[in-house]
Amino acid sequence: MHCGFEEAGKSNYIVDFLSTSEGLQLNCAFITIKDAKIRRKIVGLVKILSEDSPE
């Protein structure tokens, strides 16, 4: 069992992401997609693209 520290770290990461212009644009566009299947496909696409991204 975790004492909330892990979740707090994730929350900060999300806040940091949504504080960027790109994060806000992606979030606003993503939430307008009503089809859950399409949302899952987009998440899969982003995961694949992130694997190819140099760090």
pLDDT at position 6, please?
55
Using CA atoms, how far apart are residues 55 and 50, in angstroms rounded to an integer? 9
**Per-domain residue ranges for the chain?**
5-52
More confident residue, 54 or 38: 38
Q: Is the pLDDT of residue 9 over 80?
A: no
Tens of pLDDT, residue by residue over 12-49, are: 888 998 999 999 999 999 999 999 999 999 999 999 99
Where in the chain does DSSP place strands (E)?
none
